[in-house]
Amino acid sequence: MPARQFSLRLQEPAALQEGLRRLRSSLGIPGGYPQEALAEAEAAAASPVLPARDLTDVPFVTLDPPGSTDLDQAFHLSRQRGGYLLRYAIADVAAFVRPGGALDAETHARGQTFYAPTHRVGLHPPVLAEGVASLLPGQVRPALVWEIEFDSTGAATSTHVARAQVRSRRQWAYPEAQQALDAGSGDEQLVLLRDVGLLRLQQEAARGGVSLPVPEQEVVATGHSYSSLRSSGPSLPSNEPEQARLVARASSVWELEFRALLPIETWNAQLSLATGMAAARIMLDGGVGLLRTLPPARDSGLAKLRRTAAALGIRWPHSLDYPGFVRSLDPSEPRHVAMLNACTMLFRGAGYAAFDRTPPEQAEHAAIAAPYAHCTAPLRRLVDRYAGEICVALCAGVPVPGWVSDALPSLPGEMDESNRRARKYERGIVDLVEAMVLAPRLGETFAGTVLEVDADRGDGVLQLTEPAVEAVVKGTGLTLGEQVQATLVAADLLTGKVGFATLP
């Protein structure tokens, strides 16, 4: 389905900057790097160490949002007898970060990269994340290279990961890659990506996994040089709902958009999901590791979703399971968007589980329907560096490095806290921009779709299509999926609070 964009432009005012400053301060979002950490990064960048194994003859390519410069992943797909071979190169961040050093300590304090429309607070300094550690085209880089074999149905049959030096040949952006495929001019790598991606989606359906194609809300600052918030998208399960998408492209003109994922983004995500599943299996078999887990949905949650579907007038046969039902929904249909939004509430409680010898009781990621690990975005997420090191050691039959084992017990807590801050930061930025877009229009009436209803509080969540806003709506008799007329009654420029009230 093509991208759907509904936007409204605004100039970046001083009030927005003050709101952003307050938001960063309240959440403790870091600013610059300590001088000692910067010095370590610059020294590592000046003398990179390359692995002995040379795979620079393999024509890897990257695929990311437009303008991305922190490139974690490069892939090469090939056909082989009975199936396919995926070579998946992941930036070797451990080649540049000294365990126990100042830079290492700073990455633990941050946990991940924090994104805003006109800047980002990186996990690593730009000299690494956008320079010598990034898999930029034409540059020889150290990498962890995963080699995963799939049979003709897309099922993984073997996995190995080891260090090697690689050189990407081309940097594709999602829109141009999708256009090339649609026009029949896509190169072999894009065609194979489509073929393998579709097979992996069939595998996902067969094992009971599910992705939620909810149209994403974006804040866009047009033409900026920074990459998008979800440039790490392929390394995250698409069924772990995110609050917002912040894209930095611009000058001082900001926009709000709703955008549906391009098919090629979904296929690309399947490569990272397959790698994360392979990593989890290696760690479980090896008796040491760090998993991304999600508990199963409760029966009461599924029953509530069936009642929601009935209230929306959407047929859900009892013979159709939850994943099949989700795949039957059309994100271009307002009632179905409301249903998809309700589905995001089914799986809650994603976290990390570290283990040594004894695997966790809950080892699966319920939405993926398999054990899974984060390992494909080390430039932007701390935990991936550790998962990669564990898998390299286990595949080589050598002990896991001590600096990795020592950090395992504390990593889940560090990542949970970092994720909490990131979610609040991203949602807070969207709230501020929504308020800025709407402030001049207080008292106006808008048409929207009711996405959520809380009868006890007498309110719900309203999604407007123009401008692309989601906000609280007060009113009696709100009905899920209903198209309503609502008046804008509040838009606070410093807190980002926006409110609507339905007409009597």
What confidence tens digit (pLDDT) does each residue in 14-39 have? Answer: 777 788 889 999 999 998 999 999 99
Mean pLDDT value across residues 50-74: 96
Q: What are the residue ranges of helices labelled H in 84-239? A: 102-110, 126-127, 174-182, 188-207
* Sequence ranges of the chain with CATH classification 2.40.50.140: 442-502
pLDDT tens digits, 352-378: 999 999 999 999 999 999 999 999 999
Distances from the Cα of 263 to the Cαs of 98, 194, 198, 287, in angstroms? Answer: 39, 9, 10, 36
pLDDT at 310 over 90: no
Question: Is-contact 69 134, C-beta < 8 A?
Answer: yes
Mark residue 67 as left, alpha or beta (left: phi above 0; alpha: psi -120 to 50; beta: remaining).
Answer: left
241 pLDDT band, cuts 50/70/90, is: very low
Looking at residue 465, what is its pLDDT? Answer: 66
Compute, in degrees rounded to 10, the torsion defined by CA atoms 301, 308, 209, 422.
-80
Q: Which of 86-90, 285-289, 464-468 shows the lowest per-residue confidence on average (mean pLDDT)? A: 464-468
pLDDT at 246 over 50: no
Contacts 24+ apart (CB under 8 A), 124-127: 124/41, 124/93, 124/96, 124/97, 124/379, 125/33, 125/37, 125/38, 125/41, 125/42, 127/41, 127/42, 127/45
Looking at residue 221, what is its pLDDT? Answer: 64
Lookup: tokens for 79: 């056909």
**Is 84 in a helix, a strand, or coil?**
strand
- Tokens 């995500």 map to which residue? 269
The DSSP letter of residue 313 is T
Sorted by sequence, the CB contacts under 8 Å of residue 303 that are 6+ apart come out as none
DSSP collapsed to 3 states, 12-35: CCHHHHHHHHHHHHHHCCCCCCCH
Q: What is the C-alpha to C-alpha distance for residues 201 and 203, in angstroms, rounded to an integer?
A: 5
pLDDT at 273 over 70: yes
Measured in Å, how far apart are the chain's first and last C-alpha atoms?
37
Strands 445-454 and 483-491: antiparallel
Q: Which of 81-90, 186-195, 246-255 shows the lowest per-residue confidence on average (mean pLDDT)? A: 246-255
pLDDT at 264 over 80: yes
Question: Is-contact 88 271, C-beta < 8 A?
Answer: yes
Q: Please state which CATH class domain 442-502 belongs to.
A: mainly beta
Distances from the Cα of 424 to the Cαs of 115, 116, 343, 377, 462, in angstroms? Answer: 11, 12, 21, 21, 20
Question: Is-contact 89 143, C-beta < 8 A?
Answer: yes
| φ/ψ (deg, to 5) at 292 | -100, 115
Mean pLDDT over each residue of the chain, to the nearest integer:
87
Mean pLDDT value across residues 240-246: 43
Looking at residue 299, what is its pLDDT? Answer: 78
Q: What is the C-alpha to C-alpha distance for residues 466 and 463, in angstroms, rounded to an integer?
A: 9
143 DSSP β-pair partners: 91, 164
- Tokens 């889940």 map to which residue? 412
- Tokens 């307050």 map to which residue? 22
463: number of CA atoms within 13 Å, CB side?
25
395 pLDDT band, cuts 50/70/90, is: very high
Q: What is the C-alpha to C-alpha distance for residues 109 and 29, in angstroms, rounded to an integer?
A: 10
pLDDT at 316 over 80: yes
Q: What is the C-alpha to C-alpha distance for residues 320 and 302, in angstroms, rounded to an integer?
A: 12
Q: Helix crossing, 14-27 with 411-438: angle to 10°?
A: 160
Sign (positive/negative) of CA torsion 109, 111, 117, 120? positive
Looking at residue 333, what is its pLDDT? Answer: 81
Please report, as a single letter, which amino acid is at residue 494. L
> In terms of C-beta density within 10 A (0-12 exposed, 13-18 middle, 19 or more buried), how is residue 349 classed?
exposed
Question: Is-contact 325 271, C-beta < 8 A?
Answer: no
Question: Is-contact 330 213, C-beta < 8 A?
Answer: no
Lookup: tokens for 27: 């959440």
Question: Is-contact 410 446, C-beta < 8 A?
Answer: no
Q: What is the C-alpha to C-alpha distance for residues 187 and 174, in angstroms, rounded to an integer?
A: 14
Cis ω on the peptide bond leading into residue 467 (within 30° of 0)? yes
- Tokens 């939405």 map to which residue? 367
In 33-155 the beta strands, taken as DSSP E runs, fall at: 60-64, 73-80, 83-91, 114-116, 119-121, 140-151
Query: Which has the closest alpha carbon to 94: 357, 375, 284?
Result: 375
Query: Which has the closest alpha carbon to 276: 397, 388, 132?
Result: 388
The neighbour count for residue 143, using CB atoms within 10 Å, is 31
Question: Is-contact 105 37, C-beta < 8 A?
Answer: yes
434 pLDDT band, cuts 50/70/90, is: confident
The DSSP letter of residue 321 is -
Question: Is-contact 266 201, C-beta < 8 A?
Answer: yes
